[in-house]
Structure 1
Amino acid sequence: MPAYIIVDIDVTNAATYEEYKKLTPGSLQPYNGKFIVRGGAVSPLEGDWSPTRIVVLEFPTMEQAKAWWSSDEYAPAKALRQSASSSRMIAVEGFEG
């Protein structure tokens, strides 16, 4: 079953965050992850949630999603992201219908 990592990001250091964006794609490959959403325009429809940057990643399984997040491949990029932004991140199982 597919799994998704959904991230709500508030960038606090744009230059460092740009470096993060360069490192992340290569870290996804060993876990068969891919970007579904990568910071596109946001249009709130209900409630008071007004994120500035949303990222959605897709993985074949929850195990691969969690393995990527805690991987050595992602660690350098993760450190950059954490130093250049504040984030709220979840992993959620997808639906196979």
Structure 2
Amino acid sequence: MPAYVLVQIEVTDPATYEEYKKLTPGSLVPYEGRFVVRGGKTEALEGDWQPSRLVMLEFPSVERAKAWWNSPEYAKAKSMRQQAANTQMLVVEGFEG
């Protein structure tokens, strides 16, 4: 079953975050991950949710998503992101209907 990693990001160090963005795509490849949304324009349809940056990744399973997040391939990029932004991240099972 597919899984999605949803990330709400408030960038606090734009220069470091730009470097992070360069490192992340290659880290996804071994885990069959891909960007679905990567910081595109958002518009609230209901409520007052106004994320400054929103990212969505797709993986073949929750296990693959978690393996990527804990991987050596992502470790350097993850550390950079954690230094350059305030982040809220979750993994959610997809729907096969």
The answer to whether TM tops 0.5 is yes
Structure 2's unaligned 5+ residue stretches are none
DSSP-derived class of the 2:72 partner: coil
Counterpart position of 1:49: 49
1:88 maps to what in 2? Answer: 88
Q: Which residue of 1 aligns with 2:10?
A: 10
In structure 2, the residue matched to 1:69 is 69
Q: What is the deviation of 1:8?
A: 0.2
Which structure 1 segments of 5+ residues have no match?
none
CA-atom RMSD in angstroms: 0.4
Residue identity opposite 1:57 in structure 2: L
How many residues of Structure 1 are paired with residues of Structure 2 in the alignment?
97
**How far did 1:28 drift?**
0.1
TM-score scaled by structure 2? 0.99
Q: Give 1:45 shift.
A: 1.1
Match status 1:60 vs 2:60: yes
